[in-house]
């Protein structure tokens, strides 16, 4: 599976108060529901804690042949031997991450402007995450992005773009025609009462991206 295909149904974890066993069980459910890439997002854990948890998560994602991306922490991504890392604008550049991780790893960059998108591509990023498209419970203070800007970002680069921010089954159709390769989704899959049914419905909607 190439990077563009992996971005189609990209799930981002939001563990909250879950126990580790509940968390890992939910990851397995999401994989069975059809996610095509998983980002382990643990904002308040140390690198050592992320490594311990990440190795357990990777054993599950590997069994489904789905790439595991680590949020922000390049060191943890390297030790875990994850598929790659996703970095924000406040983190190191794609070029620096590439030096540390090597040419075979996936590097994603958050881009909220055309300028950020083009710089990330020039620095060697493999994909972009752009948003917040809708109201997000995960990042409530993130600035909203217009559909027009998302489309402009997609047209300004040759690497695939994944839309992010408050995306769920009920608003995916609003992103049609923007040029995105896929969606990054958090509560839209992990908070579902029936992940398998929700995943099936989301995959059907994603056929028309």
Confidence at residue 182, expressed as pLDDT on a 0 to 100 scale: 98
Of 162, 160, 177, 122, nearest to 39 by C-alpha is 162
Measure the CA dihedral 18/132/127/2, to 10°. 60
List the CATH number of the domain containing 152. Answer: 3.20.20.70
Beta bridge partners of 12: 39
The total number of structural domains that make up the chain:
1
Confidence at residue 16, expressed as pLDDT on a 0 to 100 scale: 84
- pLDDT tens for each residue of 131-146: 999 976 655 566 689 9
- What count of residues does the chain have? 209
- pLDDT tens for each residue of 73-98: 999 999 999 999 999 999 999 999 99
How far is 98 from 106, CA to CA, in rounded Å?
Answer: 9
Range of the domain at 98: 3-206
The per-type count for the chain, helices as H runs and strands as E runs, is: 9, 8
Confidence at residue 135, expressed as pLDDT on a 0 to 100 scale: 78
Task: Give the residue-averaged pLDDT of 13-30.
Answer: 94
The answer to whether the bond into 132 is cis (omega within 30° of 0) is yes
Q: What is the mean pLDDT of the chain?
A: 95
pTM confidence score: 0.94
Confidence at residue 154, expressed as pLDDT on a 0 to 100 scale: 98
């Amino acid at each position: 599976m190439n990077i563009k295909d992996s971005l189609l149904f990209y799930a981002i974890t939001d563990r909250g108060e879950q126990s580790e066993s509940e968390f890992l069980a939910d990851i397995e459910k999401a994989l069975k529901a059809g996610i095509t890439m998983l980002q382990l997002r643990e904002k308040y854990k140390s690198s050592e804690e992320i490594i311990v948890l990440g190795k357990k998560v990777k054993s599950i994602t590997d069994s489904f042949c789905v790439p595991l991306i680590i949020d922000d922490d390049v060191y943890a991504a390297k030790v875990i031997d994850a598929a790659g890392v996703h970095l924000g604008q406040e983190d190191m550049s794609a070029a620096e991450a590439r030096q540390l991780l090597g040419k075979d790893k996936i590097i994603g960059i958050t881009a909220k402007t055309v300028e950020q998108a083009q710089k990330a591509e020039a620095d060697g990023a493999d994909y972009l995450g752009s948003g917040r498209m809708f109201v997000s419970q995960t990042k409530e203070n993130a600035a909203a992005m217009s559909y027009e800007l998302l489309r402009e970002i997609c047209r300004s680069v040759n690497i695939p773009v994944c839309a992010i921010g408050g995306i769920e089954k009920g608003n995916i159709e609003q992103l049609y025609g923007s040029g995105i390769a896929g969606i990054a989704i958090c509560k839209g899959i992990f908070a579902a009462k029936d992940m398998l049914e929700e995943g099936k419905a989301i995959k059907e909607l994603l056929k028309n991206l």
